[in-house]
Amino acid sequence: MTVTSLDTAAGNAGVPGRPGEPEPPGGTAGGPAGGTVGGAAGGTAVRSASRRAPSGTASAVVGVVGGGQLARMMHQAAIGLGVELVVLCDDAEAAAVRAGATHHRGLAQDPAAVHALAQRCDVLTVEHELVPNALLAELADAGHSVRPHAAALALAQDKLAARRSLGRAGFAVPAFAELSVGDVDGIERFATQHGWPVVLKAPSGGYDGRGVTVLRNRVDAVAAAGSFGSPCGRWLVEQHIDIATELAVLVARRPSGWWRAYPVVETVQDDGICTELLVPAQIPDELARRATSLAVSVVEGIDATGICAVELFVTTDGELVVNELALRPHNSGHATIDAVVTSQFENHLRAVLDWPLGDTSLCAPVAAMVNLLGADEPLDLAAVPQALDDPRVRVHLYGKAWRPGRKLGHVTAVGDAVDTARQAAHAAAAALGSR
Ligand code: AIR
């Protein structure tokens, strides 16, 4: 297998717990890396993000670009912390708005709306990638706390930029090339070098399987030229990796450099959309340690703040290859609500506020999560009691309108054994009429 793997120090960095004392016990944690960020007192509350005094009803105000299910679950965590969440979206029926988050009406692409959001909060963060990067950079220049910062977020917004930057820093990434949209000969040249099939991606704007397609031959490439657009006018073509397992490592990291990594998650995708996950990943400890160390290196290397999800492929040769980054709470972390001491949503808020991070240890031996995806008809909400029949099951509905394939909720089952947890989660998802 060919992977771009430059030999620089960054690829080997990030062993947990180096420079600085880790935050107090609980999970894999560590302190500021030398030179990455300014040092701060270990594990103490640093209120650098909050420019204004608490209002009397809110401990802090966090602005979120986006109001979907990720903002909804952030809002659930915000309630306990006394944090007011203000979500920017155009839809008065958005998942987070329906859950009671303060609604700032507007589009993520509208500079005036994003500026106005920043004005009313202590810290600005995101729950999707569709906000113009330059706008966030502009706000940071104007003195607003934007977390993650625009340069880091750019790597989650632009897959080409991520491949380039991570490859240059020495992380293993799939071999790739940048092409203009419609460049069928370019695809063929790439395939001659790396073999068919190849994976074609729109570098930006896609998620949940949108903006990704596998091409088996030139005929597929010609078809893609007629149908596979890309908002930025470029294609990313990459080598098709023989994947043994897909993993995700979530790391919460504060602007002061303190971080905590979550137990490694094993994810299952169907047609590019995450359908289920298992935590902890059923992989050898040594591989889990390598995956965690790699993810922390990436997160420190790009100076990410908040939750950063590092998606990894384990190749059939046992190598770890970085797939994609998400600099926000991520589907692969949904089981943390029920199976980890501090959920990814709470730690995202704590991290962007530069507050001490919560314990990331598992509080159940194993958890399985299954996404509730829109089938040919809406979910059967009358079946919620039936899904709850098994006491190990927790149901999370997003209050979103049904559409085939849309993520409408998830169920998590905790337990002592992988098989029974998976069965319980699948049974609950089936009862609810998930795809
Ligand atoms: N999201 C963001 N990036 C990937 C995903 N899945 C979440 C965010 C966003 C919501 O999905 O919470 O607001 C959008 O979902 P939908 O179903 O409206 O496309």
Whether 167 shows a pLDDT value over 50: the answer reads yes
**Ligand 1 neighbour 69 (Cβ under 6 A):** yes
pLDDT band at 56 (very low <50, low <70, confident <90, very high): confident
**Does residue 276 contact residue 245 with C-beta atoms inside 8 Å?**
no
Task: Kindly state the tokens that stand for 193.
Answer: 């070098």
pLDDT band at 239 (very low <50, low <70, confident <90, very high): very high
**Ligand 1 neighbour 115 (Cβ under 6 A):** no
What is the 8-class DSSP label of residue 256? T
Give CA angle at 381 (378, 385), nearest 5°: 150
Which residues, other chains included, contact 40 with Cβ-Cβ below 8 Å and sequence gap of 6+? 32, 46, 254, 256, 257, 258, 354
Amino acid at 374: G
Which residues, other chains included, contact 35 with Cβ-Cβ below 8 Å and sequence gap of 6+? none
Mean pLDDT confidence for 285-297: 98
pLDDT at residue number 7: 25
**Secondary structure (3-state) at 381:** helix
Residue showing tokens 């890309």:
230
Amino acid at 122: D
Q: How far apart are CA 201 and CA 384, in angstroms?
A: 37
* Residue 67 alpha carbon to ligand 1 centre in Å: 8
**Ligand 1 neighbour 326 (Cβ under 6 A):** no
Whether 9 shows a pLDDT value over 70: the answer reads no
Whether 35 shows a pLDDT value over 90: the answer reads no
| pLDDT over 90 percentage in the chain | 86
pLDDT band at 115 (very low <50, low <70, confident <90, very high): very high
pLDDT band at 209 (very low <50, low <70, confident <90, very high): confident
pLDDT at residue number 22: 54
* Residue 299 alpha carbon to ligand 1 centre in Å: 22
* Residue 68 alpha carbon to ligand 1 centre in Å: 5
Is the Cα torsion angle 38, 44, 45, 51 positive or negative in sign?
negative
Q: Which of 74, 76, 103, 128 to mutate to test the pocket of ligand 1 (most atoms within 8 A of CB)?
A: 128
Q: At what angle do helices 150-157 and 133-141 cross, to 10 degrees?
A: 170
Q: How far apart are CA 243 and CA 288, in angstroms?
A: 16
**Ligand 1 neighbour 128 (Cβ under 6 A):** yes
* Residue 304 alpha carbon to ligand 1 centre in Å: 21
* Residue 400 alpha carbon to ligand 1 centre in Å: 10
pLDDT band at 51 (very low <50, low <70, confident <90, very high): low
Terminal-residue alpha carbon distance, the chain? 35
* Residue 217 alpha carbon to ligand 1 centre in Å: 32
pLDDT at residue number 4: 39
pLDDT at residue number 206: 87
| pLDDT over 70 percentage in the chain | 89
**Ligand 1 neighbour 334 (Cβ under 6 A):** no
pLDDT at residue number 200: 97
pLDDT band at 43 (very low <50, low <70, confident <90, very high): very low
Instruction: Find the radius of gyration of the CA atoms of the chain.
Output: 21
**Ligand 1 neighbour 127 (Cβ under 6 A):** yes
Report pLDDT digits (tens) over 320-370: 999 999 999 999 999 999 999 999 999 999 999 999 999 999 999 999 999
Report pLDDT digits (tens) over 376-410: 999 999 999 999 999 999 999 999 999 999 999 99
* Residue 128 alpha carbon to ligand 1 centre in Å: 7
Ligand 1 atom with minimal separation from the 71 CA = 12
How high is the mean pLDDT of the chain?
91
Among 374, 331, 334, 340, residue whose Cα is nearest residue 358: 340
pLDDT at residue number 131: 98
Mean pLDDT confidence for 234-255: 97
pLDDT band at 23 (very low <50, low <70, confident <90, very high): low
Q: How far apart are CA 199 and CA 187, in angstroms?
A: 10
Residue 431's φ and ψ, nearest 5 degrees, are -60, -35
* Residue 286 alpha carbon to ligand 1 centre in Å: 33
pLDDT band at 26 (very low <50, low <70, confident <90, very high): confident
Among 427, 345, 367, 434, residue whose Cα is nearest residue 397: 434
- Length of the chain in residues, anyone? 435
Looking at the DSSP assignment, which residues form a beta bridge with residue 199?
A: 214, 238
Looking at the DSSP assignment, which residues form a beta bridge with residue 360?
A: none
**Secondary structure (3-state) at 77:** helix
pLDDT band at 55 (very low <50, low <70, confident <90, very high): low
**Does residue 24 contact residue 43 with C-beta atoms inside 8 Å?**
yes
Looking at the DSSP assignment, which residues form a beta bridge with residue 397?
A: 409
Whether 12 shows a pLDDT value over 60: the answer reads no
Mean pLDDT confidence for 113-135: 98
**Ligand 1 neighbour 207 (Cβ under 6 A):** yes
pLDDT band at 53 (very low <50, low <70, confident <90, very high): low
